[in-house]
Amino acid sequence: MSKKSRKRVFLTFLTMIATAAIVLTFFPGLLDRTGLASTLHTLSSKLLNGQENPDKGASLDKGAGKSNLNLTKTSQSQVDANQFTPPEDSSYLMLNLQTGERLLEKNGDTHRAPASTVKLLTGLLVHEKLQVDELITLGEEVKVEGSVLGFKPGDKILVKDLFTAMYVYSANDAANALAVAAYGTKEQFIQAMNSYAAKLGCQDSQFKTADGMPAEDQYTTAKDLAIIAAKVTETPVLMDYINQKKASVEWTDANGWKQVREISNTNQLLGIYPGDQGLKTGTTTEAGQCLVTYITSEDGDLLLVLLGSKQRYTDTVELLDQGMAKIRTRSALKNILSSPDAFYNIPGFFVP
């Protein structure tokens, strides 16, 4: 064997070893949980053991480009469902927004109560109708149940503060105020809501409220909600509200007094999981625990819709770990195949 042939064989063997090392490193199903994943698992468990406030978007006691995604169904083997224990009695769908590929899925077409995740759609409609610096005088529409910030008829408030209240605090009174301000009545808003969703490509949803409170025959699917959420990620004005961990809401009450509320985001995972840009929580007795999550990274952007969970933060972390493992491995393999020299630039391998 010539010297040149021996060198080629050696490089091929080295590449095979490198590929195996990368796969073992990035697939948590093949190795014990390490570092960040373990920390996140512990944190999410703590949140569920009394340290997490349920999303107030609708209280438990009161029952309370990317948008044109390729959602072609994948086989069970393609989503590698056996690599982890899927959440029981829930629906989820994870997409790589850069490719439209389904990475993980379970019951993606099952009808589910949407809870406060509906507010993603509410924001899209209102955003097209109102300017953020418009001053709104509130009416009877703010007399609603569930999570409320305490607005009353006659209060005056800017649209931007209503958006902040709706997305950070998940305020139902803010959602209904925006709906009526944009479309005149709740009924006209609901009609526009369903028409808008259909135009986006949602084929199996029916919305009856602007805030997600339980209503007869109100339902969506993980697939349809992913289409809506993907559209929101393309709307920077809405994302600016959604990814705030803390915020202030100001308005003037009917008596002329200035009111200020300091609020925190209902999404306990925001700012904890790397690349988490937030999106929307939702909780009702009917819907269970819901969480829509948007992750950005160098290897790809992930969108995860989780509906009907019993432990949304633990389930979300587990699913995101699986999704990140997939796109990281594919990115690393693509780099190696395109250029063997790229192998030496992968952090953690063959450091001199």
Cα–Cα distance for residue pair 273/98, rounded to 1 Å: 20
Q: DSSP string spanning 11-56?
A: HHHHHHHHHHHHHHHH-TTTS---HHHHHHHHHHHHIIIII-PPPT
The structure tokens listed for 111 are 């009808």
Beta pairing class for 135-137 and 156-158: antiparallel
> What DSSP character marks residue 102?
E
Q: What is the dihedral of CA 180, 184, 189, 192, to 10 degrees?
A: -140
- Tell me whether residue 7 is one of the annotated catalytic residues: no
Structure tokens at 225: 């909600």
- Asked if 302 and 295 count as a contact pair (C-beta separation under 8 A), the reply is yes
Q: Is 280 annotated as a binding residue?
A: yes
Q: Name the residue among 106, 56, 70, 111 with its Cα closest to residue 230.
A: 70
Place of tokens 């080295």: 14
Catalytic choice (56, 59, 90, 119): 119
Which one is catalytic: 59, 90, 116, 309? 116
- Nearest CA to 293 out of 201, 247, 226 is that of 226
138 strand-pairing partners? none
Would you state the structure tokens that stand for residue 284, as one six-digit string? 């009702």
**What number of other Cβ atoms are within 10 A of residue 216's Cβ?**
5
205 is catalytic: no
Token pair of 41 as six digits: 């698992």
Q: Which helix (H) or strand (E) holds 103?
A: strand 101-106
DSSP 162-231: HHHHHHHS--HHHHHHHHHHHHSSHHHHHHHHHHHHHHHT--S-B---SS----TT-BB-HHHHHHHHHH
Give yes or no: 339 in active site. no
Q: Which amino acid is at 249?
A: V
Residue positions forming the annotated binding site for substrate: 280
Active site residues: 116, 119, 170
Residue positions forming the annotated binding site: 280
